[in-house]
Amino acid sequence: MRTIALALVVWMTWVSYSVAADDLCSVAPGNCRVLKEDAKVRVLEFTAKKGDRTPIHSHPAYVVYIVKAGVSRFTLPDGTSFIRNPKDGEAFINPPVTHSEECLEDQIAILVELKQ
């Protein structure tokens, strides 16, 4: 029973992070521009310079296309972090996520968020 209760608390904490965090454009309006949006999809351009930091925010399931590659450090709500070093022209299909980002190099990306 304890295991179930603990799992429920962990899941509720994860869901609250996912639901409570703002979206990318609201936390980084200087780095984010909505290119197109309808009821199902939102297309964003993300442009950042070395040293830019994006506060914690959430994405629904989304695709990222790297226009100009740059190294970034992503930090998850639990404090774990990882470095992503993509190449120009790469694309990633990502599940919903809540994270913050520190741009270690200049970069440009197109994000296609899938609304639920």
Per residue in 26-67, pLDDT (tens digit) is 999 999 999 999 999 999 999 999 999 999 999 999 999 999
Q: Which residues contact 62 (CB under 8 A, 6 or more apart)?
A: 94, 96, 111, 112, 113, 114
- Retrieve residue 104's tokens: 């270690």
Coil, strand, or helix at residue 68? strand
Please determine, for residue 89, whether its predicted confidence score (pLDDT) is greater than 80: yes
Residue 116 — very low, low, confident or very high, per pLDDT cuts 50/70/90?
A: confident
Model pTM greater than 0.85? no
Residue 18 — very low, low, confident or very high, per pLDDT cuts 50/70/90?
A: very low
Q: E-strand spans in the chain?
A: 32-37, 41-48, 53-59, 62-68, 72-75, 81-84, 91-94, 97-103, 107-114
